[in-house]
Amino acid sequence: MPENLRRGTVPSWVYLLAVVGLAALVVPLLGLGTRVPWTRIPEIMGESDARSALWLSLKTCLASTAFAVVLGIPTSILLSGRWRGVKVARVLVLLPMALPPVVAGLALLQTFGRRGLIGSWLDSIGIQIGFTTTAVIMAQTFVSMPFLIVALQGALQVREQGHESIAATLGAKPTRILSRVTLPLVAPAIAQGTALALARSLGEFGATLTFAGSLTGVTRTMPLEIYLQRETDPDIALALAAVLIGVAICVVAVTAWQQGSAKRTPVADDADAEPATAESPDELPRSGTMGAPISAHIRVPERGVDVPLEVAAGDVVALLGRNGSGKSTCVQVMSGLLDGPGSTVKVGDRTLDSGSQHVPTRERGIALLAQRPLLLPHLSAEDNVAFGLRSRGIAADEARRRARAELAAVGCAHLTDRRPWQLSGGQAARVSLARALATDPDVIFLDEPMAALDVDAAADIRGLLARRFAATKPTVVLVTHNLLDVASLATHAIVLGDGEVIESGPAHEILTYPRTEFTAALAGMNMLIGRAHADPEDPHVLTIADAPYAITGVAASAEDAAELAAGPAIALFAPSAVSLYPAGQRPAGSPRNVLSTRVVSVEQAGRLARVAAEVLPARSGAKTWTISADVTLASVRTMGLEPGVELTATIKAVEVSLTTTAQRMDTHETARP
């Protein structure tokens, strides 16, 4: 029983209506069965007219179904897209389903009959369609193909997106993508639509009679024979009807049986888990050369993206920024999956995008590892990894050998024969990584590949990437929001804001001395940007003020103090530098910064608790400034820390780092300092 029925989530009245609905469909068939002369069926089917009608029905149904499949699949693909007029096209294509069969027959007759729009021209060259077996096939195709289109178009529209794009990055050509990716993904819908089309062709009557007539052995199919026998010998009509129903049951049952047998048992994340192998660099599959440099300027006006980008060969550059800042857009343009008018992309000595020039994704020599593994569900892990190699013309045996080597390199040698639905999330991510690296790409694009994994699985993948990058020195562009990804993988970082570069430099400097609120939050630092004012009594001490807030810190030297005082400056301090006290209690000692705050949230962070508190403004209506403080779990209990509690926060001036807001500029222009 379905899970939703077992749990009682379906209203009781639904069962009553369902029983009535089933009865409305089944009872008439049972009634027919009580009148069928079952013992006479062999005798009746032995007659020439009955055999001829059955044989003609089977031949024409198979032919019309073949035409429906050959023509319906491309039509479904076209109608599943988004283009001007597609809604009108869908209505016109599905119209034969709503037309009375006689009207459908008239439409065919007026088009392909001897005096029809096209038939008159065909007749002039000696080709006649009306009242022939060809007319039967055309009538059946006309009324049955929309059933396949409905089933397949819906499946194409709701299927998981991204498989075709990944296949293109692996080097697959459009025909291979269609035959090896798209169609297998919707194979159940194709089977169901084909069965429906075959069943509809088998029962076609009105359009056939109108367009093809009723000629024994030529156009008289089983439905026509049943109709004629109904007037002369009802027993024969009932027997033929029973045979026709039996054939239809077989057709529909095959599809239903295949769908019912496709049960999949999900795999737990720790099922058959195997730790990542710690291979030496010599044991890792690798290309013979370092990755290629990237020189690009991404322009996508409709998304507000204008990003210059320079990545040296062998560098791992992290693209950072808030959602909607343009990170994924940059990756899509550079990988060829998105058209960027006016964009220029150069990888090594190859120009991929420039004006009217656009190199297809399959020819760019890149790899894309997305947030979802997007493994092909109909292929084993080994075949998934070998897919890109086969798409690039590698022989099957060599592709499988290299695929097994890549799987072993990511600790998945024991998973070669498993299908994606038999893999845990971490295992699927490893297989996806092996697939991306198997083709020895010039550039690897990582679009938050660890975002959907749990902590342990993400750590494993991060370790695999770090070892592989250290061994093979590929050029990598990494889109991430995770501090660990940047700290453990990236050599440089570029921060985007509103489609532009707002910060760039070595990754360790970005994390140590962030210059934007986003990178400060990513690095877990507290930040205040404002004007610097020197202390008259000590020129090394400066106060950064952004009314109504202020924080005091100590400059590293007199030169730094002078530079800070000349323009906008940034104050940075770690959550561990913040001490919390009950509201109104001013601690004795040397803290220069004493702030009144109100707790916003308290979250556990390992063995500590991170308290987020907004600094209370000096005047009403001021913007908020929220700082973070790390305290022990015991302090949370003893101080009763919860949202709304007011506290006094102190920060020693020596714990506050001061820096300027000047943008870091790359030596190549923007991407590197």
- Picking from 398, 455, 377, 437, the residue whose alpha carbon sits closest to that of residue 169 is 437
The domain boundary residue, chosen from 260, 281, 297: 260
pLDDT at 6: 58
- Picking from 646, 607, 647, the residue whose alpha carbon sits closest to that of residue 630 is 607
Q: Is the residue at 410 inside a domain? A: no
Per DSSP, 415 falls in state G
> In whole angstroms, what is the distance from residue 408 CA to residue 426 CA?
15
Q: Is the pLDDT of residue 670 over 50?
A: no
C-beta separation of 582 from 639 below 8 A: yes
The domain boundary residue, chosen from 237, 260, 283: 260
Predicted structure pTM score: 0.80
* pLDDT tens sequence across 325-364: 999 999 999 999 999 888 999 999 999 999 878 999 999 9
Query: Would strands 608-615 and 626-632 be described as parallel, antiparallel, or unpaired?
Result: antiparallel
* pLDDT tens sequence across 54-72: 999 999 999 999 999 999 9
pLDDT at 556: 81
Contacts of 209 (CB under 8 A, 6+ apart): 102, 105, 224, 227
Q: Is the residue at 295 inside a domain? A: no
Amino acid identity at 593? N
Q: Is the residue at 1 inside a domain? A: no
* pLDDT tens sequence across 365-423: 999 998 899 999 999 999 999 999 999 999 999 999 999 999 998 889 999 999 999 99
The domain boundary residue, chosen from 223, 241, 260: 260
Contacts of 341 (CB under 8 A, 6+ apart): 299, 300, 301
Q: Is the residue at 625 inside a domain? A: yes
Q: Is the residue at 366 inside a domain? A: no
What CATH number corresponds to the domain at position 653?
2.40.50.100
The Cα angle at residue 521 between residues 520 and 522, in degrees rounded to 5:
90
* pLDDT tens sequence across 9-51: 788 899 999 999 999 999 999 999 999 999 999 988 988 889 9
> In whole angstroms, what is the distance from residue 194 CA to residue 202 CA?
12
Q: Is the residue at 302 inside a domain? A: no
- Picking from 585, 578, 665, 663, the residue whose alpha carbon sits closest to that of residue 626 is 578
CB atoms within 10 A of CB 91: 10
Question: What is the overall mean pLDDT for the chain?
Answer: 87
Domain total of the chain: 2
Amino acid identity at 663? Q
Give phi and psi for 450, each to the nearest 5: -100, 0
Domain that holds residue 145: 18-260
Q: Is the residue at 642 inside a domain? A: yes
Q: For the chain, give the percent of residues with pLDDT over 70.
A: 91
With H, G, I as helix, E, B as strand and everything else as coil, classify residue 448: coil
Per DSSP, 666 falls in state B
What CATH number corresponds to the domain at position 118?
1.10.3720.10
C-beta separation of 369 from 444 below 8 A: yes
C-beta separation of 505 from 673 below 8 A: yes
Q: Is the residue at 163 inside a domain? A: yes
> In this structure, what token pair is assigned to residue 407?
């799987």
pLDDT at 29: 92
